[in-house]
Amino acid sequence: MTTPMVSLRDLRKEYRTGSDLVTALDRVTVDLPAGTFTAVMGPSGSGKSTLLHCAAGLDRPTSGEVVLDGVALTRLDETGLTVLRRERVGFVFQAYNLISSLTAGQNIALPARLAGRRVDPAELDAALAQVGLADRARHRPVQLSGGQQQRVAIARALVTTPAVLFADEPTGALDGQTSRQVLALLRGLVDERGQTIVMVTHDPVAAAVADQVLLLADGRLIDRLDSASAESIATRMAAVEATC
């Protein structure tokens, strides 16, 4: 049994709003093997985004352990987490989160430059070509469509050849056709390059592209579906939502 790429042990995340204590994650334990495509689903408020943030080192759990590519995240300080993220994690948000004053090329090169490395133009062109935007290097986000912006964000996440690519609802703001393009791109990365991808989604069709689906409800991991079809996923989700 190979060591998993991402390992979550007894993960808890609580936070206070005023006088209430909200439990976003309640003792989640799961291993994600390398080279797989995992989808995380659940009703709103189930903690799926929080799980992603903790696994990627963007947020700190209240208790529990996260091991990513052999590194225990909980032992790192802010600077250590940032450096780790720069080198081994790619993150794609729902709202593309590109810096509007920079071109697509500059946005993609930014993480590497923040790490102190110069990105040579050939690398940039290759990254853009990978997502099918080879001729858009000099365009600013405002000149790109939603799908194109999302693809630039994916290219940025990939330029550092991360160990894991995390995506939080990457197709949430895209229309059907563009969604399919983006999902095909992600699937291709797993199949051809062995990229490990963890994706949060509420869309069963998107989840069906994944190798396994994790179902969360009320911060707890309640089910796991392997290579399921979109219909069976949708049925299972409906059942979960009905009982919530």
Residues in touch with another protein (CB under 8 A): 53, 58-59, 78-79, 82-83, 85-86, 91, 93, 95, 97, 99, 110-111, 114-115, 156
Closest approach of another protein to the CB of residue 78, in Å: 5
Q: Is 229 within 8 Å of 57 (Cβ atoms)?
A: no
| C-alpha distances in Å from residue 46, one per residue of 21, 42, 63 | 15, 6, 18
Find the DSSP H helices in 30-145.
Answer: 48-56, 78-88, 104-114, 121-130
Q: Is the CB of 168 or the CB of 203 nearer to another protein?
A: 168
Rounded to an integer, what distance in angstroms lies between the CA atom of residue 231 and that of residue 205?
A: 8
Closest approach of another protein to the CB of residue 116, in Å: 10
Q: Is the CB of 53 or the CB of 236 nearer to another protein?
A: 53
Rounded to an integer, what distance in angstroms lies between the CA atom of residue 15 and that of residue 67?
A: 22
Closest approach of another protein to the CB of residue 52, in Å: 11
- Helix 104-114 to helix 121-130 angle (10° resolution) is 120
Rounded to an integer, what distance in angstroms lies between the CA atom of residue 49 and that of residue 149?
A: 21
CA dihedral 231, 212, 88, 98 (to 10 degrees): 10
Closest approach of another protein to the CB of residue 95, in Å: 8
Q: Is the CB of 86 or the CB of 180 nearer to another protein?
A: 86
Q: Is the CB of 115 or the CB of 134 nearer to another protein?
A: 115
Q: Is the CB of 58 or the CB of 163 nearer to another protein?
A: 58
Rounded to an integer, what distance in angstroms lies between the CA atom of residue 45 and that of residue 23?
A: 10
Residue entry with tokens 């689903």: 41
Closest approach of another protein to the CB of residue 47, in Å: 14
Q: Is the CB of 48 or the CB of 156 nearer to another protein?
A: 156
- The whole-angstrom distance between residue 143's C-alpha and the CA centroid of its chain comes to 25
Closest approach of another protein to the CB of residue 158, in Å: 14
Q: Kind and range of the H or E element at 16?
A: strand 6-17
